[in-house]
Structure 1
């Protein structure tokens, strides 16, 4: 069963899941987020995705994660997002074996692994450099459908500078982030039962055909496949994975 709740970090959530034998697992779709993930004996980081990722969970095993809001994880983890794009990386490789193993043991021993993992993330955030101050505004403006050139102008940046800042914060440039955010808006409407055509126009696509092309390009799925999976599958955490 998958559960999530708000975390004590701006825009982040804490999720937990214990897969059962025979459960239908849905692919994780690009959403601009990064996750810090725990399973007994292991901590890993799921980088920002540019394509769908199918988790391979062990039935009965426990998993917990902290899903960071888009652009906020790099400051906490101490690594630019583009270095982790489409990757699942052990925390040992980012923070060193001694530190990562000590934190893994702490979460392993906790009665509430989700809360313990959140504490790890909050402590790291408190010690980290401040996130890029433009991140939140970039996400809000791109999510609202503003053109990249306009977002750069408001931020006082050239388009190349915005692209570099975006790669460091999100793992990819602002145009890709805008496409991913738009797709996520559309899929949120589809999950609510909104028609494909209405979801397309309300999310900022030109029409249903445009949304269908974006769905295929960014996830490899069709809209009908997604709607069917959303009806029958247990929700999966964004960015989650049980294998690196």
Structure 2
């Protein structure tokens, strides 16, 4: 089960979406480059997924829960306190970053004290669960794992105090369009009283509360850090837009009044990539979106800016390790 939703308006300039995924079986999921950086809370705690340049296999056990904030390409800035090129193709525990996140009270995120017979009406008094996607929950989901507090990857010493944090308003999750039709957890008053003790309803409520609580902590941490961060390089958006449109590196540099060497430095600082690598990745993502929309591959190649279909196939295989058809079939990715 994968679901994502738009970010809160105050974060939309930096954040592409928030998302969650629950693994339904033991699997290894393929993560492909998208020029984004993710802050993720997984089974072992909080970590950062840096900008990728190739396929990154992500092993998952049944019932594993991942909750993430995905930053737009170039949207991280100095938020993480480390040059992005040092995070390229890396998965780094948040506690290992040299500059800690602001120090919070993580009581908001610890759901270990939830009662085993949690009543949906109790949840409704503190959290708005309407619209949260709880479809396709695996029957063997381990609540002792989901409802525990921070995992071993989340260091609670002052270097990672996640006390500036205040929970942000609860909001609903939006189904990912490509995914299967999703059952949704609506207003608890809509659930028949006879079903409130149903194990599946209790499980859904506990999972929804876990996801919501973790998102609140993560969004608050990002807000607190952004308040202390420098503004983004004003050229960042123009660099990405120009390269996405297929313009040459020299043309993009000229249009911004930069030398190619200056463009190279600013691209690496903003995206973690050199301009040509960034262009290859945004072109690949464009091709992937078109293919998933059902556009014939020959047309995908032309529209996305490849010289021909062979060029498309070569680039896709280089970036993802599989063919474009193989990527289109599994429609969910963990980043």
- Note closer, same or farther for the CA distance 1:86–1:170 as it changes in structure 2 (3 Å cut): same
* More displaced 10-residue stretch of structure 1: 205-214 or 109-118: 109-118
What residue in structure 1 maps to residue 173 of structure 2?
A: none
What residue in structure 2 maps to residue 120 of structure 1?
A: 221
Classify the secondary structure of the residue corresponding to 2:261.
helix
Q: Deviations over 1:139-164 (max 9, x none)?
A: 11111111111111111111011111
Give the Cα–Cα distance (whole angstroms) in 2 for the partners of residues 86 and 63 of structure 1: 19
Equivalences for 1:180-199 in 2 at 5 Å? 180-199=281-300
Q: Does 1:102 align with 2:161?
A: yes
Question: Which has the larger Rg?
Answer: 2
Superposition RMSD in Å: 2.2
What residue in structure 2 maps to residue 242 of structure 1?
A: none
Q: Deviations over 1:92-151 (max 9, x none)?
A: 1213453464329x7998853123212211221121111111111111111111111111
Classify the secondary structure of the residue corresponding to 2:92.
strand
What residue in structure 1 maps to residue 56 of structure 2?
A: 53
Alpha-carbon shift at residue 192 of structure 1 (Å): 0.9
Which one has a larger percent helix, Structure 1 or Structure 2?
1
Give the Cα–Cα distance (whole angstroms) in 2 for the partners of residues 60 and 100 of structure 1: 30
Identify the match of residue 62 of structure 1 among 60, 65, 90: 65
Give the Cα–Cα distance (whole angstroms) in 1 for the partners of residues 81 and 234 of structure 2: 16
Q: Does 1:201 align with 2:302?
A: yes
- Note closer, same or farther for the CA distance 1:101–1:35 as it changes in structure 2 (3 Å cut): same
How many residue pairs get matched? 232
* More displaced 10-residue stretch of structure 1: 182-191 or 89-98: 89-98
What residue in structure 2 maps to residue 133 of structure 1?
A: 234
Identify the match of residue 78 of structure 2 among 71, 75, 80: 75
Classify the secondary structure of the residue corresponding to 1:56.
strand
Q: Does 1:16 align with 2:20?
A: yes
Q: Deviations over 1:169-189 (max 9, x none)?
A: 111100110010001001101
Is the 2:29–2:60 contact (alpha carbons within 8 Å) kept by the matching residues of 1?
Answer: no
Is the 1:110–1:116 contact (alpha carbons within 8 Å) kept by the matching residues of 2?
Answer: no
Is the 1:33–1:70 contact (alpha carbons within 8 Å) kept by the matching residues of 2?
Answer: yes
If the length of structure 2 is used for normalisation, what is the TM-score?
Answer: 0.65
What residue in structure 2 maps to residue 44 of structure 1?
A: 47
Is the 1:16–1:114 contact (alpha carbons within 8 Å) kept by the matching residues of 2?
Answer: no
Is the 1:103–1:120 contact (alpha carbons within 8 Å) kept by the matching residues of 2?
Answer: yes
Is the 1:66–1:121 contact (alpha carbons within 8 Å) kept by the matching residues of 2?
Answer: no
Is the 1:70–1:170 contact (alpha carbons within 8 Å) kept by the matching residues of 2?
Answer: yes
Equivalences for 1:229-244 in 2 at 5 Å? 229-230=330-331, 235-237=332-334, 239=335
Give the Cα–Cα distance (whole angstroms) in 2 for the partners of residues 222 and 100 of structure 1: 43
Unaligned stretches of 5+ in structure 1? Answer: 240-244
* More displaced 10-residue stretch of structure 1: 73-82 or 172-181: 73-82
What residue in structure 2 maps to residue 227 of structure 1?
A: 328
If the length of structure 1 is used for normalisation, what is the TM-score?
Answer: 0.87
- Note closer, same or farther for the CA distance 1:198–1:133 as it changes in structure 2 (3 Å cut): same
Larger RCO, structure (CA 8 Å, separation 6 or more)? 1
What residue in structure 1 maps to residue 254 of structure 2?
A: 153
